[in-house]
Structure 1
Amino acid sequence: MKYCAECGSEYQDHVTECADCPGSQLVDAETMRARGLIPNSEQDTREFLRVGTAEDPLTAEDYVRLLEAEHIPVFSRPRRGGTVDVLTTGNPHPWWEILVPEEHVAKATELLAQEKARLDATSDEAAKAAEEEELETEATSAANPAP
Protein backbone atom coordinates (compact mmCIF):
# COMPACT_ATOMS: atom_id res chain seq x y z
CA MET A 1 0.00 0.00 0.00
CA LYS A 2 1.01 3.60 -0.60
CA TYR A 3 -0.05 6.72 1.27
CA CYS A 4 -0.37 10.37 0.28
CA ALA A 5 2.36 12.35 2.04
CA GLU A 6 -0.02 15.32 2.40
CA CYS A 7 -3.38 13.93 3.53
CA GLY A 8 -2.50 10.33 4.46
CA SER A 9 -5.04 8.70 2.14
CA GLU A 10 -4.31 5.05 1.38
CA TYR A 11 -3.82 3.85 -2.21
CA GLN A 12 -3.05 0.58 -3.94
CA ASP A 13 0.49 0.19 -5.25
CA HIS A 14 -0.40 0.83 -8.92
CA VAL A 15 -1.82 4.34 -8.19
CA THR A 16 0.62 7.17 -8.92
CA GLU A 17 -1.15 10.28 -7.63
CA CYS A 18 -3.48 11.23 -4.78
CA ALA A 19 -6.99 12.08 -5.93
CA ASP A 20 -7.32 14.83 -3.30
CA CYS A 21 -3.80 16.32 -3.43
CA PRO A 22 -2.67 16.53 -7.07
CA GLY A 23 1.10 16.53 -7.36
CA SER A 24 1.73 15.16 -3.86
CA GLN A 25 4.07 12.26 -3.36
CA LEU A 26 2.80 8.76 -2.58
CA VAL A 27 5.04 6.95 -0.10
CA ASP A 28 5.15 3.64 1.75
CA ALA A 29 4.16 3.13 5.40
CA GLU A 30 7.77 3.23 6.62
CA THR A 31 8.32 6.65 5.02
CA MET A 32 5.10 7.89 6.63
CA ARG A 33 6.29 6.73 10.06
CA ALA A 34 9.74 8.30 9.49
CA ARG A 35 7.97 11.63 8.86
CA GLY A 36 6.07 11.29 12.12
CA LEU A 37 2.78 10.48 10.36
CA ILE A 38 0.71 7.40 11.04
CA PRO A 39 -0.81 5.59 8.04
CA ASN A 40 -4.61 5.60 8.08
CA SER A 41 -4.66 1.80 8.23
CA GLU A 42 -2.98 1.84 11.66
CA GLN A 43 -4.61 2.90 14.90
CA ASP A 44 -3.50 6.32 16.08
CA THR A 45 -2.74 6.18 19.79
CA ARG A 46 -1.09 9.58 20.08
CA GLU A 47 -2.28 11.86 22.84
CA PHE A 48 -3.43 15.27 21.63
CA LEU A 49 -2.95 18.19 23.99
CA ARG A 50 -4.43 21.68 24.00
CA VAL A 51 -1.99 24.31 22.75
CA GLY A 52 -4.41 27.19 22.53
CA THR A 53 -7.95 28.44 22.33
CA ALA A 54 -9.89 30.69 20.01
CA GLU A 55 -12.90 32.81 20.86
CA ASP A 56 -14.55 32.38 17.47
CA PRO A 57 -14.63 29.81 14.67
CA LEU A 58 -12.78 32.03 12.17
CA THR A 59 -9.79 32.42 14.48
CA ALA A 60 -9.87 28.66 15.16
CA GLU A 61 -9.77 28.01 11.40
CA ASP A 62 -6.87 30.46 11.05
CA TYR A 63 -4.93 28.62 13.75
CA VAL A 64 -5.65 25.22 12.19
CA ARG A 65 -4.52 26.41 8.73
CA LEU A 66 -1.33 27.84 10.23
CA LEU A 67 -0.43 24.57 11.95
CA GLU A 68 -1.39 22.44 8.95
CA ALA A 69 0.91 24.58 6.77
CA GLU A 70 3.72 23.55 9.13
CA HIS A 71 2.67 19.88 8.75
CA ILE A 72 1.55 19.66 12.37
CA PRO A 73 -1.42 17.33 12.87
CA VAL A 74 -4.15 19.44 14.44
CA PHE A 75 -7.84 19.58 15.16
CA SER A 76 -10.08 22.06 16.90
CA ARG A 77 -13.31 21.51 18.72
CA PRO A 78 -15.89 23.77 20.31
CA ARG A 79 -15.89 23.50 24.06
CA ARG A 80 -18.21 25.88 25.86
CA GLY A 81 -21.71 26.35 24.61
CA GLY A 82 -24.32 24.79 26.85
CA THR A 83 -26.72 26.55 29.20
CA VAL A 84 -24.78 25.46 32.27
CA ASP A 85 -21.56 26.95 30.84
CA VAL A 86 -23.29 30.28 30.27
CA LEU A 87 -24.54 30.30 33.86
CA THR A 88 -21.22 29.26 35.41
CA THR A 89 -18.83 31.31 33.27
CA GLY A 90 -20.94 34.32 32.36
CA ASN A 91 -19.74 34.03 28.77
CA PRO A 92 -22.54 33.16 26.34
CA HIS A 93 -20.15 32.54 23.44
CA PRO A 94 -18.42 29.23 22.79
CA TRP A 95 -14.67 28.93 22.47
CA TRP A 96 -12.61 26.45 20.53
CA GLU A 97 -9.63 24.54 21.74
CA ILE A 98 -6.74 23.73 19.41
CA LEU A 99 -5.13 20.32 19.96
CA VAL A 100 -1.91 18.80 18.57
CA PRO A 101 0.06 15.61 19.30
CA GLU A 102 2.36 15.69 22.31
CA GLU A 103 5.53 15.80 20.21
CA HIS A 104 4.40 19.01 18.44
CA VAL A 105 3.28 21.01 21.48
CA ALA A 106 6.36 23.28 21.75
CA LYS A 107 6.42 24.31 18.09
CA ALA A 108 2.63 24.70 17.88
CA THR A 109 2.55 26.83 21.03
CA GLU A 110 5.23 29.12 19.61
CA LEU A 111 3.47 29.44 16.24
CA LEU A 112 0.11 30.21 17.87
CA ALA A 113 1.68 32.85 20.14
CA GLN A 114 3.20 34.56 17.09
CA GLU A 115 -0.10 34.42 15.20
CA LYS A 116 -2.04 35.75 18.19
CA ALA A 117 0.39 38.68 18.47
CA ARG A 118 -0.05 39.37 14.75
CA LEU A 119 -3.85 39.23 15.02
CA ASP A 120 -3.85 41.47 18.11
CA ALA A 121 -1.66 44.04 16.32
CA THR A 122 -3.99 43.98 13.32
CA SER A 123 -7.00 44.39 15.61
CA ASP A 124 -5.38 47.35 17.39
CA GLU A 125 -4.59 49.00 14.05
CA ALA A 126 -8.18 48.52 12.86
CA ALA A 127 -9.58 49.99 16.09
CA LYS A 128 -7.29 53.01 15.82
CA ALA A 129 -8.23 53.56 12.16
CA ALA A 130 -11.94 53.35 13.01
CA GLU A 131 -11.52 55.84 15.84
CA GLU A 132 -9.65 58.27 13.57
CA GLU A 133 -12.34 57.93 10.91
CA GLU A 134 -15.06 58.61 13.48
CA LEU A 135 -13.27 61.74 14.73
CA GLU A 136 -12.82 62.94 11.15
CA THR A 137 -16.52 62.36 10.41
CA GLU A 138 -17.53 64.26 13.57
CA ALA A 139 -15.22 67.15 12.63
CA THR A 140 -16.67 67.28 9.12
CA SER A 141 -20.23 67.21 10.48
CA ALA A 142 -19.47 70.04 12.93
CA ALA A 143 -17.89 72.18 10.18
CA ASN A 144 -20.83 71.62 7.78
CA PRO A 145 -24.04 71.61 9.86
CA ALA A 146 -27.19 70.39 8.12
CA PRO A 147 -29.60 73.17 7.01
Structure 2
Amino acid sequence: MKYCLQCGSEYQDGVKECTDCPGSALVDAETVSQRHIAVHSEADTRKFVRAAVAEDPLTAEDFVALLEKERIPVFCRPRRTGSVDMLTTGALEPWWEIMVGEEHLAQATQLLAQEKLRLDETSDDAARAAEEEELETEATAPPHSAL
Protein backbone atom coordinates (compact mmCIF):
# COMPACT_ATOMS: atom_id res chain seq x y z
CA MET A 1 0.00 0.00 0.00
CA LYS A 2 0.99 3.60 -0.58
CA TYR A 3 -0.14 6.71 1.24
CA CYS A 4 -0.51 10.39 0.32
CA LEU A 5 2.06 12.59 2.07
CA GLN A 6 -0.42 15.44 2.38
CA CYS A 7 -3.69 13.88 3.52
CA GLY A 8 -2.74 10.31 4.49
CA SER A 9 -5.18 8.60 2.10
CA GLU A 10 -4.37 4.99 1.25
CA TYR A 11 -3.86 3.83 -2.36
CA GLN A 12 -3.05 0.62 -4.23
CA ASP A 13 0.60 0.23 -5.25
CA GLY A 14 -0.09 1.02 -8.94
CA VAL A 15 -1.49 4.52 -8.26
CA LYS A 16 1.01 7.35 -8.80
CA GLU A 17 -0.80 10.44 -7.44
CA CYS A 18 -3.39 11.28 -4.80
CA THR A 19 -6.76 12.15 -6.32
CA ASP A 20 -7.54 14.63 -3.52
CA CYS A 21 -4.13 16.34 -3.44
CA PRO A 22 -2.87 16.73 -7.04
CA GLY A 23 0.91 16.69 -7.18
CA SER A 24 1.31 15.08 -3.76
CA ALA A 25 3.68 12.13 -3.69
CA LEU A 26 2.60 8.68 -2.58
CA VAL A 27 4.97 6.90 -0.21
CA ASP A 28 5.16 3.69 1.81
CA ALA A 29 3.78 3.30 5.34
CA GLU A 30 7.22 3.61 6.96
CA THR A 31 7.80 7.06 5.45
CA VAL A 32 4.33 8.20 6.56
CA SER A 33 5.04 6.98 10.10
CA GLN A 34 8.42 8.75 10.22
CA ARG A 35 6.77 12.04 9.25
CA HIS A 36 3.99 11.65 11.86
CA ILE A 37 1.22 11.79 9.27
CA ALA A 38 -1.99 10.06 10.32
CA VAL A 39 -3.38 7.61 7.77
CA HIS A 40 -7.10 7.02 7.45
CA SER A 41 -6.87 3.40 8.55
CA GLU A 42 -5.16 4.24 11.85
CA ALA A 43 -6.40 6.12 14.88
CA ASP A 44 -4.94 9.59 15.30
CA THR A 45 -2.82 9.48 18.44
CA ARG A 46 -1.00 12.76 17.97
CA LYS A 47 -0.84 15.01 21.01
CA PHE A 48 -1.61 18.69 20.46
CA VAL A 49 -0.32 21.44 22.74
CA ARG A 50 -0.92 25.19 22.92
CA ALA A 51 1.62 27.12 20.85
CA ALA A 52 0.01 30.57 21.07
CA VAL A 53 -3.15 32.51 21.74
CA ALA A 54 -5.02 34.99 19.59
CA GLU A 55 -7.24 37.78 20.85
CA ASP A 56 -9.59 37.72 17.87
CA PRO A 57 -10.77 35.28 15.19
CA LEU A 58 -8.96 37.09 12.35
CA THR A 59 -5.60 36.77 14.07
CA ALA A 60 -6.38 33.12 14.79
CA GLU A 61 -7.09 32.54 11.09
CA ASP A 62 -3.82 34.25 10.17
CA PHE A 63 -1.86 32.08 12.62
CA VAL A 64 -3.50 28.87 11.37
CA ALA A 65 -2.85 29.78 7.71
CA LEU A 66 0.81 30.47 8.48
CA LEU A 67 1.27 27.12 10.22
CA GLU A 68 -0.63 25.22 7.52
CA LYS A 69 1.63 26.81 4.90
CA GLU A 70 4.59 25.34 6.81
CA ARG A 71 2.77 21.97 6.95
CA ILE A 72 2.54 22.02 10.73
CA PRO A 73 -0.52 20.14 12.06
CA VAL A 74 -2.70 22.83 13.66
CA PHE A 75 -6.19 23.65 14.86
CA CYS A 76 -7.59 26.47 16.91
CA ARG A 77 -10.23 26.30 19.57
CA PRO A 78 -12.23 29.05 21.20
CA ARG A 79 -11.67 29.68 24.87
CA ARG A 80 -14.68 31.97 25.22
CA THR A 81 -17.44 32.97 22.88
CA GLY A 82 -18.21 36.56 23.79
CA SER A 83 -18.38 39.29 26.37
CA VAL A 84 -21.20 37.53 28.24
CA ASP A 85 -18.83 34.67 29.12
CA MET A 86 -16.48 37.11 30.79
CA LEU A 87 -19.36 38.58 32.82
CA THR A 88 -20.84 35.23 33.83
CA THR A 89 -17.70 33.17 34.38
CA GLY A 90 -15.07 35.78 35.11
CA ALA A 91 -12.81 34.02 32.61
CA LEU A 92 -10.26 36.37 31.16
CA GLU A 93 -8.69 33.80 28.86
CA PRO A 94 -7.73 34.79 25.31
CA TRP A 95 -10.21 34.22 22.52
CA TRP A 96 -8.45 31.39 20.69
CA GLU A 97 -5.85 28.79 21.51
CA ILE A 98 -3.61 27.77 18.62
CA MET A 99 -2.88 24.07 19.06
CA VAL A 100 -0.06 22.28 17.21
CA GLY A 101 1.36 18.79 17.15
CA GLU A 102 3.65 18.33 20.13
CA GLU A 103 6.67 17.54 17.95
CA HIS A 104 6.24 20.87 16.09
CA LEU A 105 5.92 23.11 19.15
CA ALA A 106 9.35 24.78 18.96
CA GLN A 107 9.07 25.60 15.25
CA ALA A 108 5.47 26.81 15.59
CA THR A 109 6.26 28.99 18.60
CA GLN A 110 9.08 30.70 16.72
CA LEU A 111 6.97 31.28 13.59
CA LEU A 112 4.04 32.64 15.57
CA ALA A 113 6.23 34.99 17.59
CA GLN A 114 7.62 36.45 14.35
CA GLU A 115 4.11 36.79 12.90
CA LYS A 116 2.84 38.50 16.06
CA LEU A 117 5.67 41.06 15.81
CA ARG A 118 4.79 41.66 12.16
CA LEU A 119 1.10 42.11 13.00
CA ASP A 120 1.92 44.48 15.88
CA GLU A 121 4.10 46.63 13.60
CA THR A 122 1.35 46.68 10.97
CA SER A 123 -1.29 47.74 13.50
CA ASP A 124 0.96 50.50 14.86
CA ASP A 125 1.49 51.81 11.31
CA ALA A 126 -2.26 51.66 10.64
CA ALA A 127 -3.04 53.56 13.85
CA ARG A 128 -0.51 56.28 12.97
CA ALA A 129 -1.93 56.59 9.46
CA ALA A 130 -5.47 56.89 10.83
CA GLU A 131 -4.40 59.60 13.27
CA GLU A 132 -2.66 61.54 10.49
CA GLU A 133 -5.71 61.26 8.25
CA GLU A 134 -7.96 62.47 11.07
CA LEU A 135 -5.69 65.48 11.69
CA GLU A 136 -5.72 66.32 7.97
CA THR A 137 -9.52 66.05 7.86
CA GLU A 138 -9.90 68.30 10.89
CA ALA A 139 -7.50 70.86 9.42
CA THR A 140 -9.37 71.07 6.10
CA ALA A 141 -12.91 70.87 7.48
CA PRO A 142 -14.94 74.11 7.35
CA PRO A 143 -15.64 75.80 10.70
CA HIS A 144 -18.84 74.76 12.44
CA SER A 145 -20.31 78.25 12.05
CA ALA A 146 -20.10 77.91 8.25
CA LEU A 147 -22.40 74.90 8.31
Amino acid aligned to 1:132: E
Deviation at 1:32, TM superposition (A): 1.0
**Percent identity of the aligned residues?**
66
Matched letter for residue 48 of structure 1: F
Quote the Cα distance in structure 1 between the aligned partners of 2:51 and 2:100: 7
State the alpha-carbon separation in 2 of the partners of residues 53 and 99 from structure 1.
9
What is the CA distance between 1:19 and its match in structure 2?
2.1
Q: What residue is the counterpart of 1:55 in the other structure?
A: 55
Q: What is the correspondence of 1:1-147 to structure 2 with a 5 Å cutoff?
A: 1-81=1-81, 83-89=84-90, 95-142=95-142, 146=146
Residue identity opposite 2:90 in structure 1: T
Find the aligned partners of 1:141 and 1:124 in 2 and give their Cα distance.
26
Rounded Cα–Cα distance in structure 2 between residues aligned with 1:144 and 1:6? 63
Q: Which runs of 5+ in 1 are unaligned?
A: none
Write the distance in 1 (CA, Å) between the matches of 2:145 and 2:14: 77
* Contact kept in structure 1, 2:79 and 2:94, CA below 8 Å: yes
- 8 Å contact from structure 1 (residues 8, 39) kept in 2: yes
TM-score w.r.t. structure 1 length? 0.85
Q: Read off the aligned partner of 1:140 and give its amino acid letter.
A: T
Unaligned runs of 5+ in 2: none
Judged with a 3 Å threshold, the aligned counterparts in structure 2 of structure 1 residues 45 and 96 are, in CA distance, closer, same or farther, namely same
Query: What RMSD, in angstroms, separates the aligned Cα atoms of the two structures?
Result: 2.5
